[in-house]
Structure 1
């Protein structure tokens, strides 16, 4: 059984096993990923980031480095906003890439650009989409099903507005929320409450909890905070383009800006590398 190096990292408590594979020689099965992410029998994490050169991995990205992201259950995911920041921090700290200038990172949702920011690292997530659907979400702790807003940031989200902090704190997200109609491939579900007042010094402020598909409740979800800010801005009608989103693991910044005639969104926040070691693959 081979032994491989790894690093443990997190972004506001959303944690990852980082596995360097520059030459694309590792072929991790879903079972191996799930074993590495197991919090009782493995290293423990919400997901795994394989660090591979795009050309070596056959991903066809124009970026030198590709973030091969897997959920904790081993399933493949398109994107992870916290994961991209942690991935960039790993590249910079290990000397594989430099953040002296904007760093391109390949993902299954396209190439994302990472720069340093006052609160850590900022990633341009690109454009976003929504539709007119109003899926109903049932969750343990809510008395009735609530309508949600679909937000696509390269990975799917459904944002649900709650009435109070008490409702948010009373959710039991150890049980998978039920979505009607169930989206093909599933979706991350964000439950959000606005602060009072919603806007302070020109910045919108909200609280959020999230259930991530293939993982469960996590302390943070980067793209989820962006989806939540976009949804609340839409519901509020004319709210600002700068947001602070409080999640159980900390605070993340979200900004909306115009480029090339399209609105783009960016996520900023810390990225921490905790420890490194080696592990034997079963």
Structure 2
């Protein structure tokens, strides 16, 4: 950290998933886990689901780092990627409408469609349990359409001792539970917390609760690792959509409705094809945080 006692920031959100965005292209910020937690704290800090950091890159136009509210760095955040693209354009860091961005999960390609509206090529989804990562050995399996589901033992306090789940990686790990009605608050909180730290997920996991309305529209709630339930989760929307598509339940383009807004997800269904996510990215306010 430089000698200043303040840290300039921008507060943004993508469909209600909110972020503190920092410019560290000069490489001068010392972002410790304790500082990240202070920034994200909703009572004593700015308040955010994640802290996003813009850095320079030798592999792409920019490097994108993501820290959960608990101070831990993670691989990917889809809603954050849209805000990242809007931020670098608004700040004059690029004049391009489409940029390449280095993440821990690989290179992504956000495109500014119009002001406050961004499409992101999230790359292909991964369903191999080892790449999630998910320890699947010894579990019962079944095929639903083209998806392998796993019978997972749970102790959730929600009158469940096992359930069938789908797993996928969008650069970060996701497990998706298919429901025949919208998820209740109790189910999201109890089962979400249980699955997030389930021993079958060595890196913890983001938990999606998916309700299919029809082939072009689904409802989703996500309990994010290190955060809890958020109003929107971009990678969670991608993971839930591709799992529903592989099961044959939804079309190649679907609107994923979350409490904070709607994201449109597109995927051809081919194993190596990229997942496209389109949705809002908005600045809320700017300020300085006292260190």
Q: 2:204 pairs with 186, 194, 210, which one?
A: 186
For the aligned residues, what is the CA RMSD? Answer: 2.2
Q: Aligned equivalents of 1:113 and 1:229: distance in 2? A: 19
Q: As a proportion of its length, which structure holds more strand?
A: 1
Q: Aligned equivalents of 2:110 and 2:266: distance in 1? A: 14
Q: Secondary structure at the match of 2:8?
A: strand
Q: Normalising by the residue count of structure 2, what TM-score does the alignment of the two structures yield?
A: 0.84
Q: What is the Cα deviation at residue 98 of structure 1?
A: 2.3
Does structure 1 residue 16 correspond to structure 2 residue 19?
yes
Does structure 1 residue 207 correspond to structure 2 residue 219?
yes
Q: Aligned equivalents of 1:139 and 1:218: distance in 2? A: 20
Flag the 1:142–1:86 CA change in 2: closer, same or farther, 3 A.
farther
Q: Aligned equivalents of 1:168 and 1:242: distance in 2? A: 26
Q: 1:97 pairs with 78, 94, 97, which one?
A: 94
Aligned to 2:133: none
Q: 2:247 pairs with 210, 223, 235, which one?
A: 235
Q: Aligned equivalents of 2:224 and 2:56: distance in 1? A: 27
Flag the 1:142–1:13 CA change in 2: closer, same or farther, 3 A.
farther
Flag the 1:234–1:36 CA change in 2: closer, same or farther, 3 A.
same
Q: Aligned equivalents of 2:117 and 2:177: distance in 1? A: 28
Q: Secondary structure at the match of 1:111?
A: strand
Q: Secondary structure at the match of 1:177?
A: helix
Aligned to 2:287: 277
Does structure 1 residue 46 correspond to structure 2 residue 24?
no
Aligned to 1:58: none
Q: Secondary structure at the match of 1:34?
A: helix
CA contact (8 A) 1:121 1:268 kept: yes
Does structure 1 residue 109 correspond to structure 2 residue 99?
no
Q: Aligned equivalents of 1:114 and 1:173: distance in 2? A: 32
Q: Normalising by the residue count of structure 1, what TM-score does the alignment of the two structures yield?
A: 0.87
| Number of equivalent positions | 265
Residue segments in structure 1 that go unaligned for 5+ positions in a row: 56-61
CA contact (8 A) 1:122 1:266 kept: yes
Q: What is the Cα deviation at residue 20 of structure 1?
A: 1.1
Q: Secondary structure at the match of 2:100?
A: strand
CA contact (8 A) 2:154 2:160 kept: no
Q: 2:31 pairs with 28, 33, 38, which one?
A: 28
CA contact (8 A) 2:266 2:277 kept: yes
1:133-183 deviations in Å (ceiling 9; x for gaps): 424455554645322111011111001111212x44552427613365431
Q: Secondary structure at the match of 1:22?
A: coil
Q: What is the Cα deviation at residue 63 of structure 1?
A: 0.9
Flag the 1:136–1:123 CA change in 2: closer, same or farther, 3 A.
farther
1:170-217 deviations in Å (ceiling 9; x for gaps): 52427613365431110101011100xx22xxxx21101011101111
Aligned to 2:274: 264
In the TM superposition, 1:51-66 aligns within 5 A as: 51-55=54-58, 62-66=59-63
Residue segments in structure 2 that go unaligned for 5+ positions in a row: 130-135, 137-149
Q: Aligned equivalents of 2:153 and 2:266: distance in 1? A: 28
